[in-house]
Every structure is written in C-alpha cells, then in structure tokens.
Amino acid sequence: MDLEYKIIVGLEIHVHLATRTKMFCGCELVYGDTANTHVCPVCIGMPGTLPVMNRQALEFAILTGLALNCEIAPFTKWDRKSYYYPDLPKNYQISQYDLPFSEHGYIEIPAGNGVTKKIRIRRAHLEEDAGKNIHTLGNFSAIDLNRAGTPLLEIVTEPDMNSPEEVGALARELQRIVRFLGVSEADMQKGHMRFEPNVNLHVTRNGQVFKTPISEIKNLNSFRAIERSIAYEVKRQLYEFKETGKTLQMGNKSTYGWDDNTQTTFLQREKEEAHDYRYFPDPDLVPVEVDNVWLNNIKSRLCELPIQMQQRFVKAYGLSDYDAGVLTADRATAEFFDTTVKLGADAKRVCNLLTQTGLKLANEKGVTVDQLGVSVENLAKVAQMVDAGQISATAATAIFEEMAANGGDPVQIAEAKNLIQKSDAGEIEALIEAVLAENAEAVEDAKTNPKKAKKAVGFLMGQVIQKSGGRANPKIVSQLLNQKLNCG
C-alpha cells in the first residue's frame, strides 16, 4: 500500500561555549585531560556550595541569539531541572525553563541555486552540561566529571524541516555561525556540538492526514549520522504505521539511539514530560537583567554571517556557490579571501590559489590560511602576476608554497626560481619554428584535418611550452602558433 507522506523534523542543538571556565564555577575548560582533574566542590555537587554565573557564557549565548534573529529577553532566570543520572552528581541541572534569554528567531539555510529557506527558532537557552559516562575500561562504567558544568547553549527549532538534507544543511550552517562568532569551536568529534532531531510523518490516506508518534534521536555528533538516522527513522515510522496504524494521539514521544554500525535507530525510553523534571527557580542564583547598554555592547560584536558572505561572494565576485561555500567554511579564510580581492586581485584567481593550495597547506600544518605566513598583499601580488602573464598558474602555486615555507617577496621568488614567463615574441617564434619542423604530421593535421585539428594544435602548443622549460607565455604561444598555422 503506497501512502503519501510529509517528513516533519524539528531539531534540538547543544553547543559547548568556548569560555575559559565552566558555567557556574571557576574550573578551567579543557578537553582530553585526565579524568576528574578539572573539578571542584561546585561542579561535583558538594552540599553547601554556591554557583556564580559566568558572564562571558551569557554574552556568547546572547550574541548567538542575535545572529539567529531572536528576541532577547530583558529579564531571565535560572531553574533547576531535576533528574538522576550517574554523571549528574547534584541530581539536578541548572537550566532555563519558562523564561529563556531568547525566543522567536530564525535561521536561513541554503536551499540550492542561491535560494534560502527560513527555519524558525523557537527558543535558545543556557544550561550546564553533565559529565561523561565511560564504558570502555572493563565490565563496569566510570564517570568523568571534567565536562560537568560546561556552558551549554541549547537551541530549539520549530518543526520546519522536511528532509534529512534540510536538517543536515541547518546543522552545517549553525556550525559555521558559531565558529564565525567565535563562541564555540564546534568540533563535533570532541562533543562541542550535539544534535537531536525530533521526527514524525504526516501520512495522507484516503484524504485523511495521520500523524505518527514523534521520535527524538539522541546525541548525534556528525552530519552523516544526522541525515542517515532521519532517513532510517522515516522508513521505520512508515512501516510501523502501515503495520499498526499507531498515531501521535495513541503514543508518547520516545527517544531513540543511533547505531552507526547497523545504520539503524533503537528504542531507548519513553520521553519524559516537563512536569517529570520538577522545574523550580534556582534559589542560589539571582535573575539576570539585560539592559540596553549591555545589549548594544554585545550587538557591536556581530559580524557578517557566513550565508550572507557566501551570497555576496557569488553576486559580487562571480564565484560558484560551491567555491563560495568552501571559502566561508571558516571566518579566517573568508576574510583573508575578501581582503585580498579588495586589494585589486581577481576573485576567481585568488579563490583558486586558496582552495587548491592555501587550504591544503593549512590542513597539513593544522592552521588557518591567515596563519600560513603569507600576507594578503603578497597573495594579491601573486594573483596579479598570473593575470599579467608574468608567471603561470603552476608557478603561482610554487611561489605560494615557498612564501608559506620561508616567506619572501613573490617577485623575488619568481626571479630566483626562474619562474618568470618568456613573453618575447621573437624568442617564442623561434621555439615555434623548431617545434613545427619536428612535428610535420601534427602540423598537417592542424592545417587539413578538421577532426584532428584541435588536438594537434594543443599538442604543438604543449611542445612549445615544454621546449621553453614551462616559461613561455601561453597566450603569446597560442597567438603566434595560430598565425603560423593560419588557424586564427
């Protein structure tokens, strides 16, 4: 039985904020250190301890809320969310319940062909993260509380996404945003970002719409897992509906895990409702009031957002949407490119140098392109030298690599490495004459065989470039060669 259905997905995103210390204590935030070495009486829940709010964490959260076009509340408070897990030693989490610091925003995601789609943001609130359960040490579980108390920004979207690809696009865009803002490293392998899609189907049968029960897939930490888990869950829910007819009205929301080995979701538990957590205002923390002076100070730190910069690169510089997306994957690369072009370099030439050489070198060294030691002025000069016919594109790569390794001026490097192109017409003409004399068959094909002419001319041109040691200016070679062959 074939049924029509629409995929409905909302997303909960947890983002670790890149503060120096934890949310409510002075413990340093360090990833990968020996277990339980960055803890104190506050974050391990000792009786009688008092939390103190991390001001920078709140400012980072507000900055993100502004970037997501949210309304920032002038008054917010802290609540205790009660539940027991071994990695939550206080038996409650400090969070925000009914008065989050921001609500009613939206994020734009790429929808193809330069078009964007708005996904509404229901709310964004701050809380502290729990610790980490470790199950790899033997036939027992261990607890590492280094992560307990980390500032955690939770962003909740409305169910406005209708495919796994749209959810993946939102996840990628949000990662770009928080990195651009500098509020999170957003390294999913380290747990800086975790995603929890809420998935169900609106199935149409005989003109009537049925809604399947909502499944929340927990703690996904890769774009691939997000998209594949949703795709699987769609198939599972559709099969379940066909077999049982179960609808949202007949069952509670459930939480599912994702098994990357089997590429399947598995039931974990029935989802708690808000009253199960017994929220109440935290008696140890005062409410937070954000006045206009403070809010305007935070607003002044906003930058051009990645999707806006990507669209500008396409429209103003004529880049492909793909290349613009690569350049805006991180703020340092995007601004490095933008500044170089504004110095008078050709945008596509600079894009090629950065995407084909700069990013490769940066990845090898574990840095961003602006940390390679190549100034925007020198990169602009290299691009201009290529466009002026002074050096080839291959030479430009060699010069870029030399500047990244040892510094230096591009003109001096080109001269020292004998990379300046030959543009003397007389010298190039002599090379052409020699090549034509050595390749009579190719010359005949170029002149008399329409099917082979293009290939023959290309061969002859390559021979001239090779004979020049790669230094002959291709434009001049092409012009003179065509004149000799009476092809142009």
For residue range 50-61, what is the model confidence (pLDDT) as tens digits?
999 999 999 999
What token pair was written down for 188? 């999913």
Q: Are 368 and 333 in contact (CB under 8 A)?
A: yes
pLDDT of residue 465: 73
Question: Distance between CA 112 and CA 162 in Å, rounded?
Answer: 15
pLDDT of residue 408: 94
Which residue numbers in the chain have pLDDT < 70?
1, 251, 271-275, 421-428, 464, 467, 469-473, 476-477, 480, 487-488
Task: Return the ∠ at Cα 135 (arms to 134 and 137), rounded to 5°.
Answer: 95
pLDDT of residue 488: 45
CATH 3.20.20.60 fits 425-485, yes or no: no
pLDDT of residue 335: 97
249 exposed, middle or buried (CB, 10 Å; 0-12, 13-18, 19+)? exposed
What token pair was written down for 279? 């929220």
User: In which element (H, E) is residue 484 found?
Assistant: helix 474-485
The residues of the chain that CATH labels 1.10.10.410 are 425-485
Question: Distance between CA 394 and CA 377 in Å, rounded?
Answer: 20
Residues whose CB is less than 8 angstroms from the CB of residue 432 and which lie 6 or more positions away in sequence, other chains included? 464, 477, 480, 481, 484
What is the rounded radius of gyration, in angstroms, for the C-alpha atoms of the chain?
30
**Considering Cα of 264, then 269, then 275, then 276, what sign does the dihedral take?**
negative
For the stretch 333-362, pLDDT in tens is 999 999 999 999 999 999 999 999 999 999
pLDDT of residue 324: 95
